[in-house]
Structure 1
Amino acid sequence: MTDLLPGRDEELARLHALIRNGVAGRGGALLLRGPAGIGKTALLGRAVEAALAAGARVLTGSGAQAEYALGHSMLGQLLGPVAAEAARFAILEDLLRDAGSAAAPYAVARATLELTTTLAEQAPVVLVVDDLHHADPTSTVVLSFVGRRIASDPVVLIGAYRDDSESHPAFAADIPTIALPPLDPSAADRILRAHAPHLNAAGRHRILRESGGNPLALAELARTPDRSPSSTAPDEVPLTERLTQTFAARAAALPTPTRQALVVAALGDGGLDEVLTAASAVAGHPVDQSDLEAAAAARIIEPLDARQPVRFRHPLIRSAISQTADAQVRRSCHRALATLTADRPERRAWHRAAAADEPDERIATDLENAAHPMRDRGSGAVAHRMFLRAAELTVAPDRRQRRLMAALVAAADLGDAQEVGRLFRLIEPSRLDAPSRLLLTLLRGSYLEGGWGTEAEVSIMTETAAAVATDYEQALVSIGEVATRFYWSGDLSDPLRAALADIVDRLPIPADDPRRLHAEAMLKPVERGASVLRRLRGVDTSALGPVGLYQVGLAAQVAGDLSLSLRLQARAIAALRDSGQLTLLVHLLTSQSLAALLLGDARLAAACADEATRLAPDTGQPLSVPVGQILGAAAAGLRGDVAAAETLAAEAEQILMPLDAVEVLILVRLARGITALGGKRPEEAYEQLRAICTAGAPGFHVHFRLFLVEYLAEAAVRAGRHEELDALVRELAPVAEQSGFPALVAGLRYAAAVRADDERADEAFHQALSADEVGAAGRAHLQLAYGRSLRRRRRLPESRQQLRAAMRTYDALGLGPWSELARAQLRASGERVAAPQAGGVDRLTPQEMQIAALAAQGFTNRDIGQRLYLSPRTIGSHLYRVFPKLGITSRTELAQVLGATVAEFSR
């Protein structure tokens, strides 16, 4: 077999090993990358042969370089042969019936994972996909998602993509990849001799030099060895261009009807009937299958199959046909395709726009209207091209600028900084409405200036306020974004905050609208926090969707009620799991992890941070990975796993610290401070946490410091920094009185108790312990401090009572360092205390803890897999490792062993 692919023995060996492992139940993914013609498709063909020989079910698909791609075209190819099995999943049945389905991509991905792993229970499954760089957005999401989750299943994904394409495919992240190099001279010569055995030495030397070790170039240039030399030296012309010229010349020799049918096939993505019907309309007479068979004989297209789209033998051939077609012929082909796709408005709008040779407002409006649903369903790249073409067809300058702005936003959503920069140069801000100019200012700050983009002019704010009365929905998009950015910028005195808060006050929406509550809390957390919480606690949130719950959950968190925030965000997380909105889910998990961390719930914080870190690569949010890691580091520090905390923090800091953003420094200092506190380094903990509370220090945040008083007070007491703690308490007491900020009130009560003299200590501790704002960990911290105070005052029985309660809570929460502190105090009081038993619960990883807690609630492996976006077999593998760690043998024992931990993951 290797003789058919000279020079690719190593790559073939890796492919065969992957397929053998997959058949044995150890699945995985592998990508091949390289320039056009380097041999990726040939290697995929050998992989298909090996998979079939191993008894696997093989599903194949290929991306198409169409100007307009349907929402799930590659996925439709893959799942078509198993349509009957896919029909068990309503979302996949809808997708196969209507490629324009508006289903959320990650919901499709979850169903595809379950379908694939279910099929693998009967026979191993091998997915083989070519030309991934031309894959439609949803298929890209699905394949990337599946490729990261099949390690425990007999499923293999093998794909190939061109690495000389303009956009680097996001699916390549975290998936093993082989870069295919040019063939060595010996292998290249073997291929050339096989295709042109009678070529003379001079011709062979020339082709070997021009081909650069590219197998496709060797084969194609060998077909025309006597071509006249170009006026330009071959080495000065890119190889892809020379091949394109070769393919174009071959097509030019075909009859006119055949060429016209090929142009139709290159511009569309339909089946054989559609191509022939459109080509007949262009030609003015019937074009039948025999006309296209001439193209197959010339090795331009694959052999025809009425059940499949017309497929070009290589993407470069498709490009050559499209690029070299006469402009009038192209427009005629687009008009014919528009007529045939009248029942599919988005395709019809695209083809009508492509057929237009002058501005046309009606066509531009139709295309703009078609672009919005494409963007909403996750096809951002297609929507971006639609908005751009709509702008080209627009006469009115204001409308053209609005459409360019829509294209810029789509490019920003795709993370295409280069295109964002190009569009910034084309857009005239003066022709945009005020909310759009405000959003443009934010994006400029993020993409061109490297900051938060809050440097908006007051005039823009004023005009935005005026726009509220007529188009407040559009204004809200900008207001919500800028409010969040203002909050994390750390400067609550910025006058623009007041201007934006005034705009929010003018919004014609109810006082308890989630968007208003979120904006008010972000813009004025101290001044409006109490009002926001009062309205939040009185509002019925039962009818809110995940976005509304996310907004009120953030509002509660910023306003200082962390327990309420946890409850609201937990509901939002559950809803997002069901709907497949993974991008927002990652944001919520990160927010939930931070709230849990501030409440001292290390297990929940670790589980949420770990899940956000695992899901972030699927969503194209690379910075969410280190953010999740730094939160995970803080959670590990709380639990006393200093080594894990330091490792996670170091990895995250390498990515985050160069960004020099305030919120990054806050998280890093928080993680370092908590880890130092758990590692019995109170002086270091105090310095890290104090920086967040010190004006002018790197990482200072005038509002976030309000959450840290309890941690800081503990570090200060243990480090002997009493006077500095007293100064901070005096500084923050007026803020607490003004705002009633629950987290700050609880922190100040803790500080007051630990700093009270002997006469006032009992009253201070009782007052702090009776407060509603105190959570389980906070209560344990108070009991530990109170027990220490009572022991110092020789009231040993009362001291032991408080210390035992604290120790039990710490043990239940898995807060090892604090549990040891409580034990040490008990021993000092004269009580014999057994060493803490190495609990199996704390040997679990965050993911194992999450899975075990869900299993303890009675969820099946399939239920848990759907909830966590994993395969059922992966869940089973995790539980297989969990049972020995917990010292149990069945699921029925989980609830008893995990105890209260189960409740933390059932919210």
Structure 2
Amino acid sequence: MSMALTERTNELLALDEMLSACRSGVGQLALISGPVGCGKTEVLDAFAERALRAGALLLSATAKRSGAEVPFDVLVQLFGAGTAPGRLRAQMDRLVDAVPSTNPADAAGTQALRVLYAELLTWTTDRPVVITVDDVQCADRESLRELLDLASRLRRTSALLVFTQSDDENAATALVQAELLRNDHWRRIDLTLLSVEGVTALVRAQPDRTALPLSGADIHRLSGGNPLLVRALLDDLRGADPRRPDIAFGQAVVACLHRSSPHSLAVARGIAILGRPTGVGLLADLVELGQEQTRTALRRLELAGLVTGGDFRNPASGAAVLADLRPQERRRLHERAAELLYVQGASASTVARHLLETDGTRQRWTQRLLREAAEVAIASDDLDFACDCLGLAFESSPDDHERASVLARLAGVVWRRNPVAAVRHVSLLIEPSRRGLLSDRQVSAVARSLVWHGMTGEAMEVIDATGRAGGAGGDRRDAELGMIRRWLRSWHPPLSRMVPEVPRRPGTPDGAEVADEHLLGAALLSEVLTRGAVDVVRRAEDILRGCGTEVDEATLEPAEAALLALLYSDHADRALTWCDPLLAAAAERYAPTWSARLEAVRGEIALYQGDLPNAARYARAALDRIAPRGWGVAVGAPLATFIQATTMMGDLDAAGAYAKAPVPQEMFKTRFGLRYLYARGLYLSACERWHAAMSDLLTCGELAAEWEMDVPAFVPWRGAAARLYLKLGDRERAQKLAGAQLRGARQGLTRTAGISLRAMAACSGTHGRLQLLREAVEVLHACGDRFELASALADLHQVHQAMGERQRANAAFQQALRLATECRAEPLRRSLLHQSSDEHVESMVTKQPNGGLVKLSRAERRVTALAATGHTNREIAQKLYITVSTVEQHLTKAYRKLKVTNRADLAAACMPTMADSA
């Protein structure tokens, strides 16, 4: 049995019984009724085939709405078609010819109908006559009248009339119902939707049922058991076109609705527009029907399996209905829905979603509502919706002040997601800033965005407009200018000098003149980078505590600045404690820009701790999350971290790729340019391009001094330049630079002091170098920078070795090699191995308190020591004058004795613990 005839056996048997009954000369009349799409036509067609096989004369017609205005359209289909006997067709032709289109009920037409009926009666004497009319409720008025009259004339003949009729009520269905009640031999056959079992049986009957992603119960839930929709769903599932997953189902839904009553179609469209279950009152008002009419239409839609609980069973239904609407009508309905929902007090987000589907409106309430909806969306990280709301508010607002304010908010939201896309919005805010249409805080935000993108000329124009909004007084303007100047001082020192300096009032505590509290972090960072700040840890952590563990527009910048203030004050451990929770919080929000900025800070913290792999990883993540163009002048921060970390790890190809990447020239007027020049100088030095490296380092120093930002904890350029001068043979300049850096670092900056002591040691004689390096090791051990500590220990190893102190040299070597390996500082590790003797390497293994190590033979210990410190099998073979195969055999035995499976585990088993034996 076909899909359409599933669970239709009883209905067909009932029709068979009526056909048998009419053979005895008793006319029968059947009315097949049911929801649209439930298979009435299929049942009618199946019965027609059975009637033909049983020898009946079959006359069929299908009534259509398009033919409702054509007189006798259905009768012509019944008696004038090719399947009708010739004499009936001839009589039907005479009827059509005899009836003027203006008056079909004249005498000629009546006479023609009598002859036609008489001819039809003669055919009932030989065999049963079966007359079927599909969708009788759509029949033209003349045909319907004559069909009902014919039903009365054929009551005592071998005739069976079978009509199908939808459940939708109209004048035609009421007329048919009334006439049928007068017939003693009529039967109503009601078709219902398929059961879950029926749909499941259909699914099991599919040849590829195992590939279907939905079960029979799922398909029933989505289709309501409507056979037409079930078939469409199965077609879609078999098609599995990801670009058009619901095309057949959507077409079936639209077909069902267009075959339903106009009221049902209107209500379905209203449900699609509202997009969620609502009360009957709102739905009725939307589609402009009475509430009772709306309830009736809802019942019809539920009986058809399209709707349940006031909403579509399948979301694809709503999409299909909306797509079927003409754009103008769709916009009109959304506008009406927005107004009705607003009056009812619906949420701003709900109303705004309808406003976004309109052409825009200039009503005052819509502007306020769109902005309210945008703020809710921003808080829940739905930035696309927020941008849409703000965009519509901007386009439809007639007020210049309001438009400027909305645009400023929109620029901030877009920047949070994509700084490149925000440039266009920020550029549009320059003119409103000049005209005083923005608040001082908004002007400040615009200026900072322009500086970020390197548009300093435009930024100054905007800064000049500070204080114009709302007739702000002098105190307010001075406060705003002071805040902007302080922020620029830590970002773009040359530009900060162009902002008039605000005289500080006597007795005003430091930072109190900053009007905008969320820029207190910038004020602290400015102090750290310039004249030096006091009580940095307390002040920075107060700011961070005020930010909490959440990241948003108000907390990002102060948190970032406070973290950097801690870092540039040699408190990397404290910065790390605060940074990781903020980075995790940012990862939970849809804010790529926030995450990228915090990743850049996290990478810099890792660099200051000598965690080179994580420094490179976080910097690379920050650069991947935002395109370099989107970073603007701030791109120097992650670039510098990545270049410096990969240089220290010996990956000069990776460092070079980023060192050669184009950067904005304006960056070299910012603090980010200083870090970039320092990092690139280290890279060029590693490439042995001494003069180019020196040029970058000296330029970095000149700019730092010019900007009063010459802080060794920020960019220790003098130490790096001193080492280069040593390579170039200029010890005097090297000593001068190293000494100057050391003097600048003697103010409680532990890490910077350690780096500076090491630089000074490089310029000193053997005995002076030893003392300086011992102090450097002690200081660096306390600050936790593993790379700098490893470098200092490596230098100390060289000094002890030169002095013939083999035991001390060996202890320094072991610690330096372990730290270099942990940091993946490959150049430093290889340098150590190159400088060391075989006895140094072997002693790393033989002196460890690991019971397994003493079980190794001398040959196994020597091979194991070299393998643990990174030598390849071929290098070991060459160093010990044995074959590669012998190396492999020794390592296999060592693995078994030490119970390890790879070289990483072998290194962990052999490397010493940290001991202060230098």
TM-score normalized with structure 1 length: 0.53
Which residue of the other structure, out of 455, 471, 480, is the alignment partner of 2:460? 455
Q: Does 1:335 align with 2:343?
A: no
Equivalence for 1:824: 834
Residue 690 in structure 1 maps to residue 700 in structure 2: no
Structure 2 residue corresponding to 1:755, chosen from 752, 759, 763: 763
How far has the Cα of 1:524 moved from its partner?
Answer: 5.3
Within 5 Å, which residues of 2 pair with 1:408-447? 408-415=411-418, 416-417=421-422, 420=425, 423-424=428-429, 427=432, 429-444=435-450
CA–CA distance in structure 2, aligned partners of residues 625 and 325 of structure 1: 49
Structure 1 residue 661 and structure 2 residue 670: aligned? no
Equivalent position of 1:278 in the other structure? 283
Task: Verify the 8 A CA contact 1:258 1:295 in the aligned structure 2.
Answer: yes
RMSD: 6.3
Is 1:353–1:367's contact at 8 Å kept on the other side of the alignment?
no
Question: Out of 321, 328, 337, which is 2:325 matched to?
Answer: 321
The answer for unaligned runs of 5 or more in structure 2 is 1-205, 223-235, 844-861, 873-894
* CA distance in structure 1 between the aligned counterparts of 2:424 and 2:544, rounded to whole angstroms: 43
Write the deviation string for residues 493-538 of structure 1: whole angstroms up to 9, x where unpaired: 6354965999995548999x88524432146512144442464479
Determine if contact 2:603/2:615 at 8 Å carries over to the other structure. Answer: yes
State which of 635, 643, 651 in structure 1 corresponds to 2:645.
635
**Structure 1 pair 269/588, CA: closer, same or farther in 2 (3 Å)?**
same
1:597: how far off?
1.9
Residue matched to 2:382:
379
CA distance in 2 between counterparts of 1:531 and 1:312 reads 62
For 1:753, give the aligned amino acid.
A
Query: CA distance change for structure 1 residues 252 and 326 in 2, over 3 Å: closer, same or farther?
Result: farther
In structure 1, what is the Cα distance between the partners aligned to 2:387 and 2:710? Answer: 39
Letter in 2 for 1:690: L
Q: Which residue of 1 aligns with 2:19?
A: none
* Residue 753 of structure 2: aligned partner: 745
Distance 1:289 1:893, change over 3 A: farther
**Cα offsets for 1:98-129 (capped at 9, x unmatched):** xxxxxxxxxxxxxxxxxxxxxxxxxxxxxxxx
Sequence identity of aligned pairs in percent? 13
Deviation at 1:683, TM superposition (A): 3.2
- Residues 811, 391 of structure 1: alpha-carbon distance in 2 compared, 3 angstrom cutoff: closer
In the aligned structure 2, how far is the partner of 1:623 from the partner of 1:161?
44
Selected match of 2:612 from 578, 581, 602: 602
Cα drift, residue 463 of structure 1: 7.0
Distance 1:768 1:50, change over 3 A: farther
The 8 Å contact of residues 719 and 738 in structure 2, kept in 1 or not, is answered as: no
One-letter amino acid matched to 1:433: S
Deviations 1:232-265 (A, max 9, x none): xxxxxxxxxxxxxxxx9x9999987567557645
Give the drift of 1:283: 0.8
5+ unaligned residues in a row in structure 1: which ranges?
1-48, 62-79, 82-129, 131-156, 163-214, 221-247, 844-882, 903-907
How far did 1:434 drift?
1.3
Per-residue deviation, 1:417: 4.6
1:401 to 1:374, Cα distance in 2 relative to 1, 3 A: same
1:527 counterpart = 2:531 = yes
1:765 lines up with 2:768 in the alignment: no
Using a 3 Å threshold, how does the CA distance of structure 1 residues 768 and 490 change in structure 2: closer, same or farther?
Answer: farther
Rounded to whole Å, the distance in 2 between the matches of 1:774 and 1:441 is 38
In structure 1, the partner of 2:579 is: 569
Separation in structure 2 between the aligned mates of residue 649 and residue 302 of structure 1, nearest angstrom: 65
Structure 1 CA distance for aligned equivalents of residues 869 and 799 of structure 2:
33
Q: Which residue identity is paired with 1:769? A: V
Contact 1:526 1:735 in 2 (8 A): no
Give me the whole-angstrom Cα distance separating, in 2, the residues matched to 1:688 and 1:729.
Answer: 17
Match in the other structure for 1:8? none
- Which residue does 1:557 correspond to in 2? 567
Q: Closer, same or farther in 2 for the Cα pair 1:514/1:362, shift >3 Å?
A: closer
Partner of 1:402: 405
Which letter does structure 2 place at the counterpart of 1:407? L
Partner of 2:815: 805
What is the one-letter code of the residue matched to 1:376? A
Is the alpha carbon distance of 1:259 and 1:631 closer, same or farther for their aligned partners in structure 2, counting shifts above 3 Å? farther
**Residue aligned with 2:768, SS:** helix
Q: Distance in 2 between matches of 1:483 and 1:394?
A: 35
- Distance in 1 (CA, whole Å) between partners of 2:632 and 2:262 is 50
**Kept in 1: contact 2:640–2:676 (CA 8 A):** yes
Partner in structure 1 of residue 149 of structure 2: none
Tell me the distance in 2 between the aligned counterparts of 1:363 and 1:357.
9
Bigger RCO of structures 1 and 2 (CA < 8 A, at least 6 apart)? 1
CA contact (8 A) 2:754 2:777 kept: no
| Letter paired with 2:759 | A
Structure 2 contact 820–829 (Cα < 8 Å) conserved: yes
CA contact (8 A) 1:468 1:507 kept: no
Report the CA distance between 1:773 and its aligned residue: 4.5
Per the alignment, residue 76 of structure 1 pairs with none
- For 1:658 and 1:633, locate their aligned partners in 2 and report how far apart those are by CA, in whole Å: 17
Q: CA deviation at 1:829?
A: 11
Tell me which moved more, 280-289 or 417-426.
417-426
Cα separation, 2, equivalents of 1:499 and 1:898: 62
State whether residues 674 and 715 of structure 2, in contact with CA within 8 Å, keep that contact through their aligned partners in structure 1: no
Closer/same/farther in 2, CA of residues 499 and 597 from structure 1, 3 Å limit: farther
Q: Structure 2: how far apart are the matches of 1:269 and 1:540?
A: 43
Aligned-pair CA distance for 1:616: 6.3
The alpha-carbon distance between structure 1 residues 475 and 557, as it changes in their structure 2 partners (threshold 3 A), is farther
| Structural mapping, 1:505-904, within 5 Å | 505=510, 507=512, 516-522=520-526, 525-533=529-537, 535-536=539-540, 544-547=548-551, 550-574=560-584, 576=586, 584-609=594-619, 612=622, 631-632=641-642, 634-640=644-650, 642=651, 645-647=652-654, 649-650=656-657, 652=658, 657=663, 661-662=667-668, 674=682, 681=688, 683=690, 686-687=693-694, 690=697, 693-695=700-702, 706-718=715-727, 720=729, 722-729=731-738, 732=741, 735-736=744-745, 743-758=751-766, 760-771=768-779, 772-773=782-783, 775-793=785-803, 797-827=807-837, 837-838=866-867
Instruction: Report the residue type matching 2:329 in the other structure.
Output: A
Question: Take 2:497 and 2:726, find their aligned partners in 1: how far apart are those partners?
Answer: 34
2:280 and 2:647 mapped to 1: Cα distance? 63
2:170 maps to none
Shift of 1:436: 0.9
